[in-house]
Amino acid sequence: QVTLRESGPALVKPTQTLTLTCTVSGFSLTTSGMSVIWIRQPPGKALEWLAVADGDGDKYYSTSLKTRLTISMDPSKNQVVLTMTDMDPVDTATYYCARVQLRAFDYWGQGTLVTVSS
């Protein structure tokens, strides 16, 4: 059974760095072609992709946010970690991780709401 679960702080202050962890089960992060993506959704708004990492060690970032994002994989822990620097209230959103398969996102975590406020 494939599952993904996001974890991280619910509240961060402006200018702080956010670190989120996606813990996966039911599939291997080291499988060639396997990817995990981070996506966010501000309250009442649309989905926005942030970063993706694959089992070959490649990483890709949203053009608009690439200077603030770092994605990494730790296959030994079955984890994919996203860091976002210089957080701002506009970054308040639910953050999801999802598995990339067949050019779509077939399994999603339940999401974690991150609020940026002083």
Partner 1 sequence: EVVLTQSPATLSLSPGDRATLSCRASQSVSNFLAWYQQKPGQAPRLLIYDTSTRAAGIPARFSGSGSGTDFTLTIGSLEPEDFAVYYCQQRSGWRGWAFGQGTKVEIK
Residue 56 near partner 1 by CB under 8 A:
no
Judged by beta carbon, residue 16 or residue 59, the one nearer partner 1 is: 59
Rounded to whole angstroms, the Cα distance separating 26 from 45 reads: 30
Shortest Cβ 14–partner 1 spacing (Å)? 26
Judged by beta carbon, residue 46 or residue 90, the one nearer partner 1 is: 46
Residue 32 near partner 1 by CB under 8 A:
no
Q: What is the dihedral of CA 19, 8, 45, 97, to 10 degrees?
A: 80
- The amino acid that residue 50 corresponds to is L
In this chain, which of 32, 43, 104, 118 binds partner 1, going by CB under 8 A?
104
101 contacts: CB under 8 Å, gap ≥ 6:
34, 107
In this chain, which of 47, 56, 72, 85 binds partner 1, going by CB under 8 A?
47
